[in-house]
Amino acid sequence: MNYLQAIKQQLKRKSQFQQYYNSAFKKIQKDILIYVEKYIDLLDTANGKILDTNDLNTINELEEKILKKIDVLIKQISFDRRLNEFNANTLQVTKDINGINKLPENISNIRLFIEQQTRDSLQRAGVMQGVTKPLNMLLQNIILEGTSKAEAKELLNKWNKGEGEALFGARGQKKIQNFEQYFNQIANDSVSQFNGNIQNTIRKEFNLNGFIYVGGEVEKTRPFCHYLVSKFNGAKIPYDAMESIIHKYLKDESLNKGMIEGTTVENICVYKGGYNCLHECYSVLM
């Protein structure tokens, strides 16, 4: 198996890994939406409209109940087995690309770090920022706007699908993050950062001096990623060449869209094109 076939197999494994996360997260979304719809059903109405005299403090109480419910649901997700499967696949890719038959000893520490980081993103502070605070804002506006319960549930589902910019009418609220965006980003970042940290460690451990940058392109592909994918098309990129490309794109505001400040050739396997990047960067021997 050549190295591009090996990478293709791992990208497939990555996709399966993300699908597992997404499936688990979608169950959480579904359970929470049902929970919120029951709350809406209990709001006081007059002439079919939700009264703006409903106690807004009950939203804070609901938020606390949702946080506790999410804590319980998160504990049911099996991170260990999925990360171990991905780890085994990474060993095969490393062997096929570089002829290396072992992984650095601290790989298990990387796995534990990413697992904990993922759990932290799904714990109280992360979920409050990404889910319950936007939901709290949504429910407050539903009450103050005086919608019907049917309209309120429709707005709830629009928010969940990412249509938040259309929710608040005259109140002029900006678009807010939704369940789908938040959990999808965590799923993608967890898998990508795991692989990125492994690749970075492998590069240092075995003195590798090149990279392979792979992945497809979509409408919003960043300039940096577009250049690497279209220019090299899976070919090996020397260390010095990658360093020059990063420097060129990072300093140019017309080219650095989405890139993380502080991206260098030393951390490119982790940072890649920026947050939620869909590409992968592998360490290779030139």
96-119 pLDDT, tens per residue? 777 777 777 776 677 677 667 666
Cα distances (angstroms) measured from residue 195 to each of 17, 87, 174:
12, 8, 35
Write phi, then psi, for 214 (nearest 5 degrees).
-135, 165
Structure tokens at 64: 């606390």
Position 176 pLDDT exceeds 60 = no
Where is pLDDT greater, at 123 or 27? 27
Give me the mean pLDDT over the 148-153 stretch: 89
Cβ neighbors of 169 (< 8 A, separation 6 or more) are 145
With b meaning 16 or more CB within 10 Å and e meaning fewer, what string describes 87-115?
bebbeebbbbbbebeebbeebeebbeebb
pLDDT band (50, 70, 90) for residue 83:
low
Query: Which of 139-153, 222-236, 241-255 comes out lowest in average pLDDT?
Result: 139-153
Question: Could you tell me if 50 and 142 are in contact, meaning their C-beta atoms sit under 8 angstroms apart?
Answer: yes
Least confident of 10-14, 160-164, 175-179: 175-179
Query: Taking 60 as the threshold, does the pLDDT of residue 267 lie above it?
Result: yes
Q: If pLDDT is split at 50, 70 and 90, which confidence band does 179 have?
A: low
Q: How many CB atoms lie within 10 A of CB 123?
A: 14
Overall average pLDDT of the 19-23 stretch? 75
Q: Which residues pair with 280 in a beta bridge?
A: 214
For 233-254, b where at least 16 C-beta lie within 10 A, e where not — what string?
eeebbebeebeebbeebbeeee
Residue type, 223: P
What tokens were used for 81? 């087995």
Q: What is the amino acid identity at position 18? A: Q
For 238, phi and psi rounded to 5 degrees?
A: -60, 150
Least confident of 166-170, 186-190, 219-223, 237-241: 166-170
Q: How many angstroms separate the CA atoms of 95 and 205, rounded?
A: 14
pLDDT for the residue numbered 27 = 79
Residue 238 has pLDDT above 90, yes or no: yes
Q: Would the pLDDT of 286 be above 70?
A: yes
Contact criterion met (CB below 8 Å) for 278 and 185: no
151-155 average pLDDT score:
85
Greater model confidence, 156 or 192: 156
**pLDDT on residue 220:** 83
Is the pLDDT score of 6 beyond 50?
Answer: yes
d(CA 57, CA 34): 20
76-80, 109-113, 127-131, 242-246 — most confident range: 242-246
Distance of CA 27 to the CA centre of its chain: 17
pLDDT band at 87, cuts 50/70/90?
A: low
**Average predicted confidence (pLDDT) for the chain:** 79
Where are the alpha helices (H) located in 42-78, listed in sequence order?
57-74
pLDDT for the residue 163: 64
Q: Is the pLDDT of residue 268 over 80?
A: yes
CB 197 within 8 A of CB 113: yes
**pLDDT exceeding 70 applies to what percent of the chain?**
78
What is the pTM for the complete model shown?
0.69
What value, to the nearest 5°, has the Cα angle with vertex 239 and ends 196 and 250? 75
Count the neighbouring beta carbons within 10 Å of the beta carbon of residue 213. 26
Beta strands in the chain (DSSP E): 45-46, 49-50, 210-214, 237-238, 280-284
Joined together, the tokens standing for residue 29 give 């979304």
Query: For residue 166, what pLDDT is reported?
Result: 45
